Amino acid sequence: MTVRTAELVMAIVMGLFSAYLMMKSAELPYGWIPGEGPGGGAWPFWLSAIMLVCCIVMVVNWIRRTNPPSQDMEAFFPAGVLKNSGSVALVLTLVVGLFNGVELGGVTLLPAIGAYLAIFIFMVFYVGVLGRHDFVKTAIFSISVPVLTFLFFELALKIILPKGVTEPLFLPIFKYFGLGGL
Amino acid sequence: MTEIVYLLLDGFYVAFQPLNLALIVLGCAAGLFIGAMPGLGSVNGVAILLPLTYLVPPTGAIIFLAALYYGAMYGGAISSVMLGIPGASTAVATTFDGRPLAKMGMADKALTAAAVASFAGGTISVILFTMAAPPLAHIALVFGDPEEFALMMLAFATFIGLGGDDIAKTIFSICIGLVLAAVGFDTVSGEPRLVFFDITNFMDGVKFLVLAIGIYGIGEMLWTIEENTRAGGASQLSKATVSLKRTIANLRELVRSWKTMVMGSVLGYVVGILPAAGATPGSLMAYGIGKQISKDPDSFGKGNVEGVIAPEAANNAASTGSMLPMLTLGIPGSPTTAILLGGMVLWGLEPGPRLFSDEPSFVWGLIASLYVANFFAVVLNIAFIPAFIWVLKLPFTLLAPIIFVLCLVGGYAPTQSMYDVWLMLLFGIVGYLMRKLDYPLAPAVLAIVLGPLAERALRQSLLISGGELSIFVDPVNRPYAAFIMYAALVLLFLPLFMMIRRRLTSGKAASTEPS
């Protein structure tokens, strides 16, 4: 896909999203209610309408080739960029899914392995696979980052991160720190 | 004036509390570190680290983040000089002369000049800020809903009139931010609104922090990965010889450039106040004027130290300038201050002119901390130049995953809801794609912060006027609102005037051309 094509696709997707926003806003009154002022849907409705107009202008600009992306025939994702940015975005999505698991229609798509194990996997992917660092560096970073995250967020800030199947492993640690109630 | 001095002294008392002082030093160091990393600037640092400030009281939290803001402005120059890659967009102009100086073996001179100019910019602007803020807040006390709404329109209009981006995309970005801020409940009728696909989590609304970390954390990191991939590791780290003797000699030499420092500082401060302008255009303008007033303009771009001084003084001054409307009017002057403003709401403070009377220790503690932060930032910067150069040697593939993890956990921390993490990831990826297509994203972040306030102000104003929009342009009964709204309209139509003028000029040129 070229940048020019991506520009059109984005304008159309955002235009459709704007139309959807208008529809959702219109679930509440979007006109003037005597004695009450503008209806609850007025503000988002008219703003979404402006968004839709902007998207139409973007399509017109695309046809007229008036802005740089509409003239750019380069690939939107050159091979190297897709390999790096694209793979990071994909793995990041999987990692977030692994925090608490993903289910669709009763089928488990991703198991809930908890934040710390998911962060460990992400670090191994980034440092070891993408960064091609040696085993020692990969091990140091992959282990220390989840450990430090645990110490700072869970113990210092008392912010409980999802632990999924690894939950029982943390109980002795909480007991040791006298945080059995967490 | 005496009152201001007393209030400032009270502020210093707050800033010198051991915890706050430690937070200033920590904030400056973190800012210098983040600023020095290519591609990351104050806005990314503030967005990513905001969730961590729950550990400390609001005054300490904003002092930490403001110090980080300053530190990042200082740090941006390090990467510009040493790598030739701006640490942040605000340090683009610093590369023009900073890089040639580094190539000539004078990296230490450029770095010292950047640090001292940043100190001058920060100090001069914070003095201007101290004098301007109380009277401005006093005037703003009489502002009602129509004036507030007009002010917000002015803030958005500056993006359209002065932002320099595609106008349709800028307006789209503003509107999407405002609409996302409206998700949840209608505050007047209490009915649920914009609950997408009937997912009940949307009733909690879309938090600004989720959007901010998504765009400035995840989206920006994906963008930086792309930039690094495209550059193919072509950048080369310059060598810097740092010694006490050379530093003293460099500092002596800088005294001669005081005029450039003052010019950059005042210009940066004024430009920084405008929401759409801020540090990047401020520093570029200062570079241009610095060249014009220089005794040796031809050497600009080839390694003139004044070419480093002008933009560095300006970008630090702009960061202070952008805090003026944030503290006095409740309107952020930059994306970073938009996030700070959102943070203030999270910490339970109500931004606006009343902050000066309701929370004096917060406001004056912050102002005093800016003086202190400036001092520590310059000391840390000059003392630890070798350490920050070492930061640049760290492989990005070690730093990037840590930042991603911070984003994910930071997005989860405030509400402890996976829904926010998913939303943040979505904003990050969509924001990255939009950025690739030149959609400006700063207006969306500003809009999501101002959205609830703007809607409330508009609805209340229309209720007062019985639905008449003329309340915003009535110079007799609402002179402030009318003045601000007219200014907003002028800015709004500025690109149109410019386009018509351009067409007329090109038409004339075509008709006078000999056939």
ipTM, 2 decimals? 0.94
Low-confidence winner among A61-75, A165-179, B228-242, B310-324 (lowest mean pLDDT): B228-242
Residue where a domain stops, chosen among A71, A101, A125? A71
pLDDT of residue B291 exceeding 50, the answer is yes
> What 3-state DSSP class applies to A106?
coil
**Same domain, residue pair A52 and A129:** no
Pairing relationship of beta strands A32-33 and A37-38 according to DSSP bridges:
antiparallel
Q: How far apart are CA B515 and CA B508, in angstroms?
A: 14
Reported as a single tens digit per residue, the pLDDT across B364-383 is: 998 999 999 999 988 888 88
Confidence of residue A182 (pLDDT cuts 50, 70, 90): very low
Q: Which residues from B are below 8 Å from A141, CB to CB?
A: 398, 401-402
Sequence spans of domains, chain B: 2-498
Query: Is the CB of A67 less than 8 angstroms away from the CB of B438?
Result: yes
Confidence of residue B152 (pLDDT cuts 50, 70, 90): confident
Query: Is the CB of B434 less than 8 angstroms away from the CB of A44?
Result: no
Query: Is the CB of B175 less than 8 angstroms away from the CB of A47?
Result: yes
> Going by C-beta distance under 8 Å and a sequence separation of 6 or more, which residues neighbour residue B191?
A28, A40, B185
For residue A144, what is the nearest residue in chain B, using CA coordinates?
A: B402
pLDDT at position B515:
46
Residue where a domain stops, chosen among A20, A43, A71? A71
**Same domain, residue pair A30 and A57:** yes
pLDDT at position B157:
87
Does residue A61 lie within any of the structural domains? yes
- Which residues on neighbouring strands pair with residue A38, listed in sequence order? A32
pLDDT of residue B271 exceeding 80, the answer is yes
Confidence of residue A32 (pLDDT cuts 50, 70, 90): confident
**B453 part of contact set with chain A, CB < 8 Å:** no
**Same domain, residue pair A53 and A115:** no
Q: Which residues from A are below 8 Å from B189, CB to CB?
A: 28, 39-40
Q: Which residues from A are below 8 Å from B395, CB to CB?
A: 131, 133
Does residue A182 lie within any of the structural domains? no
Q: Label residues B59-90 b or e (16+ Cβ within 10 Å = b).
A: bbbbbbbbbbbbbbbbbbbbbbbbbbbbbbbb
**Same domain, residue pair A65 and A48:** yes
pLDDT of residue B351 exceeding 90, the answer is no
For residue A6, what is the nearest residue in chain B, using CA coordinates?
A: B437
pLDDT at position A60:
96
Query: Is the CB of A141 less than 8 angstroms away from the CB of B401?
Result: yes
Does residue A169 lie within any of the structural domains? yes
Residue where a domain stops, chosen among A22, A37, A71? A71
Query: Is the CB of B194 less than 8 angstroms away from the CB of A78?
Result: no
Mean pLDDT of B96-104: 85
| Nearest CB partner across the interface for B416, out of A68, A149, A159 | A159
**Same domain, residue pair A84 and A9:** no
**Neighbour count for residue A77 (Cβ, 10 Å):** 16
Reported as a single tens digit per residue, the pLDDT across B454-508 is: 998 999 898 888 888 888 988 888 998 999 999 989 888 888 888 888 888 877 6
Listed ranges A5-19, B161-175, B268-282; the one with the highest mean pLDDT: A5-19
Confidence of residue B436 (pLDDT cuts 50, 70, 90): very high
- What is the domain extent for residue A15? 3-71
Q: Which residues from B are below 8 Å from A69, CB to CB?
A: 437-438
**B18 part of contact set with chain A, CB < 8 Å:** no
**Neighbour count for residue B455 (Cβ, 10 Å):** 24
Query: Does residue B107 contact residue B303 with C-beta atoms inside 8 Å?
Result: no
User: What percent of chain B has pLDDT above 90?
Assistant: 23
**Same domain, residue pair A48 and A104:** no
**Same domain, residue pair A96 and A168:** yes
**Same domain, residue pair A159 and A108:** yes
Does residue A125 lie within any of the structural domains? yes
Reported as a single tens digit per residue, the pLDDT across B60-93 is: 898 999 899 888 888 888 888 887 777 677 788 8
pLDDT of residue B212 exceeding 80, the answer is yes
Domain count for chain A: 2
**Same domain, residue pair A64 and A85:** no
**Same domain, residue pair A170 and A86:** yes
Confidence of residue B39 (pLDDT cuts 50, 70, 90): low
**Same domain, residue pair A40 and A120:** no
In whole numbers, what is the pLDDT of chain A averaged over residues? 90
- The DSSP line for B60-95 is HHHHHHHHHHHHHHHHHHHHHHHTSS-SSGGGHHHH
Q: Choose from A22, A51, A63, A153 for mutation: most chain B CBs within 10 A.
A: A51
Mean pLDDT of B127-144: 86
